[in-house]
Amino acid sequence: MTNVISIRDKINEKMNLLEKYVELNLHQVEHYRVQKLLEEIHKYYSLLEPEDRQYVDVIDDIVGRNNDKWF
């Protein structure tokens, strides 16, 4: 039997990874890694739940500004 991963599963996996990166403060010290993940997530942006979109937008803004403050 083939292991099929749904788009929703991929999105959830990437969102969980983004949350982990932020918890580890990688958005501060390895912002390029977080930026790469954000680029992958943006491919699915229209499929994100509204709260996930908001979270992605906030992290994208922080990484884009290379800000070292997390609110």
- Domain span at residue 18 reads 7-65
The answer to whether residue 49 sits within a structural domain is yes
CA distances from residue 37 to 3, 14, 17, 25, 32 in whole angstroms, order as listed? 23, 7, 8, 14, 9
What is the pLDDT at residue 43? 95
Q: Is pLDDT above 80 for 2?
A: no
Rg of the chain over all Cα atoms, to the nearest angstrom? 13
The answer to whether residue 70 sits within a structural domain is no
Question: pLDDT tier at 71 (50, 70, 90 boundaries)?
Answer: very low
Beta carbons within 10 angstroms of residue 11's beta carbon? 19
The answer to whether residue 2 sits within a structural domain is no
The answer to whether residue 71 sits within a structural domain is no
What is the pLDDT at residue 4? 67
How many structural domains does the chain have? 1
The answer to whether residue 24 sits within a structural domain is yes
In tens, the pLDDT along 15-60 reads 999 999 999 998 788 888 999 999 999 999 999 999 999 999 999 9
pTM metric for this prediction: 0.81
CB 51 within 8 A of CB 59: no
Quickly tell me which residue has 């982990």 as its tokens.
Answer: 20
